C-alpha cells in the first residue's frame, strides 16, 4: 500500500487528507505558528499511528506529500518580509510608488498609502535601456550598478529585486545585473523580473518581482526546513507545493519564483471543489467558502478553475502570476455587525477567534454574524455542539442586538438579528453577481458548492436568492483545501510577452517562445521524476483588440504532448484570429468585425495527471426515515417556529430531510430552508434541492 498526503496549513488548523487507494482519511490538528513544520510532523505522526506504522515506514511509503502554505500570505499581512531593495532602469525609479495611479477608495481622501516594501531610498536606478524589439539602446552601466549595490549594502538589504524595461524581450541586462548584485551583496536573496513575471507592462512586472523578493526568503527558508524534517523522518520523494494557479509543483520549481505560492490556500479549496463537483456530475460550480473572517467566492466552469494573470491586487500590491480567481468579501462568522448613520452594516471588521463572537464567551462585546445565528436559533447553544470542543452561550447576545435595534430605531433584538441575516445574504448575493456577471455567467445555471464552517448555514437561502436550485455540501468540506492539494495536478503555467498584430505574426518567434517554455517545463518535470511522455500541454495565446488593456487567454491547441508544435501551420494567423473572436464573443457578447486583433503573449499550461480519490455521486433512496434529535425555536427566514434538529451522525446515505430543518454536523451547521430538502447521497455527502 502506498500513500499520498495533502497538507494545508491555515491560521488555526493544519488539515491533512490521506489517500490510500480510493479511500480518503481526514485529520486536523492545531497549527504551530512559531515553527509550522512542527504541526505538519505532528499530524503526519498521527496519520502513521492510524495506519499502525512507525513514522519512518509511513513516510517511506508516501509517493507524494503535497503541501499548501500560507507563509507568503502571512508575510504580506504582517509586513514582516525581507528588507528589500529595487534596482531598475534609470528614469523609472518611482513606478512602484505611482501604482499606475490606482487608489483603493476614490471617495476617501484620508486613505493611507500602502506600506512600502521598497521605500524610495532603497529604489536605485542604473543607466541601461532595451527597446521593445529587444535591441540595446543604452548599455548596462556596471560601475553605476556597483555603486547602487554599495548603497543597498549600506542599508543592510536582505533581498534585491531587479527590474529593467523590456527584460522580458531581452533579459541580458538583468542576467548580468543579477551576477553583479550577487557578487556585491553577499547572502542577499536576488531575483530578476524576467524570471518572476516575463511580461509587460513594467509596473505589473516590477511589483510582482518586489513582492517575490520580499516573501521569497521566508518561503524558501520554510520549505527547506520542512523538507529537511521530512527527509530526516524517512520521506524519499520530492515535496510538492500548491501554487495559486491551482496546480502543484516541486519545491525546486517554486524556489525559482516563490511568489507562486501566494494565495494558494483558497486555490486548493477551489480545486477540491472542482474535483468533488466533477464526481457528482456538476462541472459548473459556484464555490462559496464562508469561514470566520471572510466569504470567498469562485467559479468552476466545465470542471476547470481557470487561473488568471491580470490585475490581481493582493494586500495592496499587484501580483501578476496566474491565480485561480477567488473574490473575497469581509463577511464571515466573526464579522462585526454595526450601525453606520442609521444603516445596518456587516464587517469588514472581524472579532476573529480572539475574543471572537459574544457567544464564544471569551470576552467579545460586539455582535457578530455568528451571534445573529445564535439569536435566530440556527446555531445551537446546547452542550457538546460542533464536535464538543466548546459550547456557545447566549449570554449578552440579545442585549447586543437590542442595542443595534435602538440605534437604528427599528424593531427589537430578534428583528436586528434577522436584519443581520438579510444584510449578510444581500451582501453575498451582490458579491456573487459581481463575480459571475464579469464572466457573462448567469448564476442560475450553476450548482452551488458550500464549504467552510459557516457556508452551509446560509447556502440554500443564498442559492434561492440567486436562482440556484441545487447545493452540494460535502462532508469533507472542513478540510477542503487539504483535499484540493491532494487532487491538484502537478502544473507549470507560464507566459512570455510578444506584442504584434495578428495580421503580421512571426510564427517562428511564437514557436521559439513556446519551445523555450516547453523546455523549461520538461526540465522541471523530469527532474521531479515524471515521465515526459505523460505531460499534456495547453498551448495558449493571449490576445486583444488594439488598445484593449485586458487580454483574453485561450487555448490554441489543448491536450497535446509536450514540445509537439506541429499544429503551427500556415493558417496560424487566421486561426488565431478566429479563435480569439470566438473567445471574445463568449466573454463579451460581441466582436469587432473590422479590427484585427493583436497578440500580447504566449502561454503554456503543462500538467501531469495524478491519481485522485474517487468521489461518488448519485442518490439512491433508502426509504429509512430520519429521526429528529430534538426541536428548537428558530427563524429560518419566515418567522420563528419550532424547527426539528437532526444530528449528522444519525443520517445515512439515501435519507432525505424535509424543510424546515437544521442538521448539525461536526464543525458546521446545515440549514434546510423552507421550500428546500436535504439528501444524503451515496457517498455520504449532502445535497440541498429546491422542491
Query: Would you say 386 or 408 has its CB closer to another protein?
Result: 408
Find the binder of another protein among 90, 224, 308, 407 (CB under 8 A). 90
Q: What is residue 471's DSSP assignment?
A: E
Residue closer to another protein, measured from CB, 28 or 122: 122
- How many angstroms separate the CA atoms of 411 and 400, rounded? 13
H runs (alpha helix) in 14-113: 36-50, 55-60, 71-78, 95-98
- Site membership for another protein, residue 595 (CB under 8 A): yes
Rounded Cα distance, 413 and 400, in Å: 8
CB of 137 to another protein, least distance (A): 8
Minimum distance, C-beta of residue 108 to another protein, in the bound complex (Å): 4
Q: How far is the CB of 410 from another protein (least distance, A)?
A: 6
Q: Of 454, 338, 348, nearest to 392 (Cα)?
A: 454
Q: Which is nearer to another protein, 311 or 390 (CB)?
A: 311
CB of 55 to another protein, least distance (A): 50
Identity of the residue, 1 or 106, whose beta carbon is nearer to another protein in the bound complex:
106
Nearer to another protein, 168 or 556 (CB): 168
Q: Does the footprint of another protein cover residue 302 (CB under 8 A)?
A: no
Q: Interface with another protein includes 592 (CB under 8 A)? A: yes
For another protein, the closer of residues 70 and 542 by Cβ is 542
Smallest distance from another protein to CB 297, Å: 13
Residue 423 sits in the site that holds another protein (CB under 8 A): yes
CA distance 661 to 417: 19
Q: What are phi and psi of 69, to 5 degrees?
A: -130, 150
CA neighbor of 457 nearest in space, from 349, 374, 539, 352: 374
Among the listed ranges 233-241, 386-394, 407-415, 640-648, the one in contact with another protein (CB under 8 A) is 407-415
Residues 19-38 that bind another protein (CB under 8 A): none
* Three cell numbers, residue 647: 444530528
How many alpha carbons lie under 13 Å from residue 586 in its C-beta half-sphere? 10
Of 1 and 110, nearer to another protein (C-beta) is 110
Q: Interaction with another protein in 424-483: which residues (CB under 8 A)? A: 426-427, 430, 433-434, 437-438
Closest CA to 556 of 514, 498, 501, 504: 514
Q: What 3-state DSSP class applies to 363?
A: coil
Residue 99 exposed, middle or buried by CB count within 10 Å (0-12, 13-18, 19+): middle
Comparing CA positions, the residue from 597, 594, 664, 601 lying closest to residue 629 is 664
Integer Cα distance of 619 and 651 in angstroms: 14
Q: Please, which residues have CB within 8 angstroms of residue 87's CB and are 6 or more apart in sequence? A: 124, 125, 126, 145, 148, 152, 160, 161, 162, 163, 177, 181
Distance CA 688, CA 448 (A): 9
**Among 46, 61, 151, 315, interactor with another protein by CB under 8 A:** 151
Name the residue nearer to another protein (CB basis): 165 or 242. Answer: 165
Q: Which of 115, 132, 630, 633 binds another protein (CB under 8 A)?
A: 132
Q: Does 407 bind another protein (CB under 8 A)?
A: no
Binding part of the chain for another protein, among 198-206, 273-281, 282-290, 524-532 by CB under 8 A, reads 198-206
* Strands 335-340 and 343-350, sheet pairing: antiparallel
Q: Residue 29: which region, alpha, beta or left (left: phi > 0; alpha: psi -120 to 50)?
A: beta
Q: In angstroms, what is the minimal distance from the CB of 298 to another protein? A: 17
Question: How far apart (Å, rounded) are the C-alpha atoms in residues 193 and 166?
Answer: 10
Pick between residue 120 and residue 365 the one whose CB is nearest to another protein: 120
Among 34, 78, 154, 571, binds another protein (CB under 8 A): 154
Do the Cβ atoms of 97 and 118 come closer than 8 Å? no
Half-sphere exposure of 53 (CA within 13 A, CB side): 17
In the complex, the smallest distance separating the C-beta of residue 551 from another protein, rounded to whole angstroms, is 11
Contact between 91 and another protein by CB under 8 A: the answer reads yes
Q: Which distant-in-sequence residues (6+ apart) come within 8 Å of 154 by Cβ?
A: none
Contact with another protein (CB under 8 A) among 1, 388, 533, 590: 590
Task: Single out the residue of 57, 63, 80, 103 in contact with another protein (rule: CB under 8 A).
Answer: 103
- Least distance in Å: CB of 315 to another protein? 16
Q: Which stretch binds another protein (CB under 8 A): 42-50, 95-103, 216-224, 671-679?
A: 95-103
> Per CB under 8 A, which region of 319-327, 504-512, 525-533, 585-593 contacts another protein?
585-593
How many chain residues interact with another protein (CB under 8 A)?
Answer: 71
Residues 493-512, mask of contacts with another protein (x by CB under 8 A): ------x-------------
Binding mask 547-576 for another protein (x = CB under 8 A): xxxx--------------------------
Residue 208 CB contacts under 8 Å (≥ 6 apart), including other chains: 193, 196, 197, 259, 318, 319, 320, 321
The residue within the footprint of another protein, chosen from 23, 52, 113, 186 (CB under 8 A), is 113
Q: Within positions 327 to 356, which residues make up the interface with another protein, using CB under 8 A?
A: 340-344
Taking the least distance from each CB to another protein, the nearer of 317 and 646 is 317
Name the residue among 372, 72, 377, 39 with its Cα closest to residue 213. 72
Binding window for another protein (CB under 8 A); candidates: 40-48, 129-137, 329-337, 375-383: 129-137
Per-residue contact flags (x/-) with another protein for residues 605 to 644, judged by CB under 8 A:
----------------------------------------
Q: Does 652 bind another protein (CB under 8 A)?
A: no
Whats the size of the chain, residue-wise? 691
Q: How far is the CB of 550 from another protein (least distance, A)?
A: 6
Euclidean distance between CA atoms 654 and 381, whole angstroms: 29
Applying the rule CB under 8 A, the residues between 158 and 197 that interact with another protein are 165-166
Chain positions 210 to 249 lying near another protein, rule: CB under 8 A, are none
Q: Is 303 in the site for another protein (CB under 8 A)?
A: no
Report which of 296, 293, 274 is spatially closest to residue 285, judged by C-alpha positions.
Answer: 274
E strand or H helix that includes residue 296: strand 295-300
Binding residue (CB under 8 A) for another protein from 1, 109, 569, 625: 109
Residue identified by cell 529593467 is 164
Asked if 203 is part of the footprint of another protein (rule: CB under 8 A), the reply reads yes
Amino acid at each position: 500500500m502506498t500513500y499520498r498526503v495533502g497538507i494545508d496549513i491555515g491560521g488555526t488548523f493544519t488539515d491533512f487528507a490521506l489517500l490510500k487507494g480510493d479511500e480518503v482519511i481526514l485529520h486536523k490538528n492545531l497549527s504551530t505558528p512559531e515553527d509550522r513544520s512542527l504541526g505538519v510532523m505532528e499530524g503526519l505522526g498521527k496519520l502513521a499511528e492510524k495506519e499502525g506504522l512507525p513514522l519512518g515506514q509511513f513516510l517511506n511509503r508516501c509517493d507524494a506529500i503535497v503541501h499548501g502554505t500560507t507563509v507568503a500570505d502571512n508575510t504580506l499581512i504582517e509586513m514582516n518580509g525581507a528588507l528589500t531593495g529595487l534596482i531598475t532602469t534609470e528614469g523609472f525609479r518611482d513606478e512602484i510608488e505611482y501604482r499606475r495611479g490606482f487608489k483603493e477608495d476614490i471617495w476617501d481622501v484620508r486613505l493611507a498609502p500602502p506600506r512600502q516594501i521598497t521605500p524610495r531610498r532603497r529604489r536605485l536606478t542604473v543607466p541601461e535601456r532595451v527597446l521593445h524589439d529587444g535591441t540595446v539602446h543604452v548599455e548596462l552601466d556596471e560601475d553605476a550598478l556597483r555603486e547602487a549595490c554599495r548603497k543597498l549594502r549600506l542599508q543592510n538589504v536582505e533581498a534585491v529585486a531587479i527590474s529593467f524595461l523590456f527584460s522580458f524581450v531581452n533579459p541580458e541586462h538583468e542576467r548580468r545585473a543579477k551576477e553583479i548584485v550577487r557578487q556585491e551583496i553577499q547572502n542577499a536573496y536576488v531575483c530578476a523580473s524576467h524570471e518572476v513575471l516575463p511580461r509587460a507592462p513594467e509596473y505589473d512586472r516590477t511589483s510582482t518581482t518586489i513582492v517575490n523578493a520580499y516573501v521569497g526568503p521566508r518561503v524558501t527558508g520554510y520549505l527547506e526546513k520542512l523538507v529537511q524534517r521530512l527527509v530526516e523522518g524517512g520521506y524519499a520523494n520530492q515535496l510538492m507545493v500548491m501554487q495559486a494557479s491551482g496546480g502543484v509543483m516541486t519545491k525546486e520549481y517554486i524556489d525559482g519564483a516563490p511568489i507562486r505560492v501566494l494565495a494558494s490556500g483558497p486555490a486548493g479549496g477551489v480545486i477540491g471543489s472542482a474535483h468533488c463537483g466533477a464526481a457528482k456530475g456538476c462541472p459548473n460550480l459556484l464555490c462559496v467558502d464562508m469561514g470566520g473572517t471572510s466569504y470567498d467566492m469562485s467559479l468552476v466552469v466545465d470542471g476547470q478553475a481557470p487561473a488568471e494573470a491580470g490585475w490581481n491586487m493582493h494586500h495592496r500590491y499587484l501580483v501578476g502570476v496566474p491565480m485561480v480567481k477567488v473574490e473575497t468579501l469581509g463577511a464571515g462568522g466573526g464579522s462585526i455587525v454595526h450601525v453606520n448613520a442609521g444603516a445596518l452594516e456587516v464587517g469588514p471588521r472581524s472579532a476573529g477567534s480572539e475574543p471572537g463572537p459574544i457567544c464564544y464567551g471569551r470576552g467579545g462585546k460586539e455582535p457578530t454574524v455568528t451571534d445573529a445565528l445564535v439569536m435566530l436559533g440556527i446555531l445551537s447553544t446546547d452542550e457538546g455542539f460542533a464536535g464538543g470542543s466548546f459550547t456557545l452561550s447566549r449570554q449578552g447576545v440579545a442585549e447586543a442586538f437590542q442595542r443595534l435595534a435602538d440605534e437604528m430605531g427599528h424593531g427589537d433584538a430578534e428583528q436586528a438579528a434577522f436584519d443581520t441575516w438579510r444584510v449578510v445574504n444581500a451582501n453575498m448575493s451582490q458579491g456573487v453577481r459581481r463575480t459571475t456577471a464579469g464572466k457573462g455567467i448567469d448564476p442560475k445555471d450553476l450548482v452551488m458548492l458550500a464549504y467552510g464552517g459557516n457556508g452551509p448555514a446560509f447556502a440554500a437561502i443564498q442559492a434561492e436568492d440567486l436562482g440556484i436550485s441545487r447545493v452540494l455540501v460535502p462532508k469533507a468540506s472542513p478540510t477542503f483545501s487539504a483535499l484540493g492539494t491532494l487532487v491538484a495536478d502537478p502544473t507549470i503555467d507560464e507566459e512570455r510577452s510578444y506584442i504584434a498584430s495578428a495580421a503580421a505574426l512571426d510564427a517562428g518567434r511564437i514557436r521559439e517562445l513556446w519551445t523555450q517554455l516547453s523546455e523549461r517545463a520538461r526540465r522541471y518535470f523530469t527532474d521531479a521524476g515524471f515521465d515526459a511522455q505523460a505531460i499534456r500541454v495547453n498551448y495558449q495565446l493571449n490576445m486583444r483588440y488594439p488598445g484593449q488593456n485586458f487580454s483574453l487567454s485561450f487555448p490554441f491547441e489543448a491536450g497535446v504532448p509536450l514540445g509537439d508544435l506541429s499544429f503551427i501551420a500556415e493558417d496560424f494567423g487566421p486561426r488565431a484570429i478566429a479563435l480569439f473572436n470566438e473567445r471574445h464573443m463568449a466573454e463579451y457578447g460581441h466582436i469587432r468585425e473590422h479590427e484585427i486583433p493583436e497578440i500580447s503573449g504566449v502561454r503554456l499550461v503543462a500538467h501531469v495527471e495524478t491519481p485522485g480519490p474517487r468521489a461518488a455521486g448519485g442518490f439512491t433512496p433508502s426509504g429509512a426515515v430520519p429521526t429528529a434529535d430534538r426541536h428548537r425555536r428558530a427563524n429560518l427566514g419566515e418567522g420563528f417556529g419550532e424547527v426539528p434538529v437532526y444530528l449528522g451522525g444519525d443520517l445515512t446515505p439515501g435519507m432525505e430531510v424535509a424543510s424546515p430543518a437544521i442538521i448539525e454536523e461536526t464543525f458546521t451547521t446545515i440549514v434546510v430552508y423552507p421550500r428546500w430538502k436535504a439528501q444524503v447521497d451515496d457517498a455520504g455527502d449532502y445535497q440541498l434541492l429546491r422542491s
